[in-house]
Structure 1
């Protein structure tokens, strides 16, 4: 990439900038889609846990009825199971991670669009685009590192008990 504007040494810097902007936008779309999925899963699990917990508490208050007491205890068991599922999948943390990643891709796209708009075409070089590409790579590296940290923490947690 570091041709600095040499003729015939690869794509023109403007083409490279367009390609890089497309990749950044794809990264943002990826983060946005995953964020929506994780937010939905996190919210659904929280609402379901709350509803089951409330229902089980009310039902246990009706303990003179054997059926209702049994149902209440089953709901308490389900709440416990959902709590375990939540801590395993950690939807909220993943949702927040995608929110952060989406922000970083948006910011990077804005920076690149400004660079393209504020730089005359003959002064736009691969060397000027390199820091944007490096920042793009850093976003992915940060996302991967955080993802692995989360997975390791969840894997190590049961062993420490």
Structure 2
């Protein structure tokens, strides 16, 4: 017959929290990578500008400029910032869904909690994963992501 509505709600809440944890860990990873690329590009640009002024180190400066150009070309391919923002949005949606489910559980007497009320929450949970998957694929298919 299946689980009781309260048990189903607890299972669903656990899945939502795991989804939120997934989005949080990916968001942190993508944020670190996006920040590292930006900081590295900034540092290399500044160093090359300073070294060009010294003239003695001009060859090194031109090598640094080449590295900045390479980073500038590679960064849109990985598009860490867009992934970071995508996971931020996903985490928000999972948190909102968990809040809504917790409120539903707190405001509904156990005898009135039904699977049909939980089905709507589960449909939203599935929609978060569907949207994440579709958006992820769109980002991967795009040959040149738009600058952020």
Bucket of the pairwise TM-score, normalised by the shorter protein: over 0.9
Q: Kindly indicate whether residue 94 of structure 2 is the aligned counterpart of residue 102 of structure 1.
A: no
Question: What secondary structure is seen at the aligned counterpart in 2 of 1:135?
Answer: helix
Contact map agreement 2:26 2:84 (CA 8 A) in 1? yes
Counterpart in the other structure of 1:20: 12
Q: Which moved more, 1:80-89 or 1:140-149?
A: 80-89
- State the shift of 1:86 in Å: 1.0
Normalized against structure 2, the TM-score is what?
A: 0.95
Counterpart in the other structure of 2:129: 140
Q: How many residue pairs align between the two structures?
A: 145
Q: In 1, distance between residues paired with 2:53 and 2:76?
A: 28
Contact map agreement 2:9 2:118 (CA 8 A) in 1? yes
Larger radius of gyration: 1
Q: In 1, distance between residues paired with 2:7 and 2:62?
A: 64
Q: In 2, distance between residues paired with 1:134 and 1:117?
A: 20
Normalized against structure 1, the TM-score is what?
A: 0.88
- State the shift of 1:62 in Å: 2.0
Where structure 2 has 5 or more consecutive residues not aligned to the other structure, the ranges are none
> Which aligned segments of 4 or more residues in structure 1 are displaced greater than 2 angstroms?
none
Q: In 2, distance between residues paired with 1:15 and 1:157?
A: 46
Contact map agreement 2:26 2:87 (CA 8 A) in 1? yes
Report the aligned-residue RMSD: 1.1
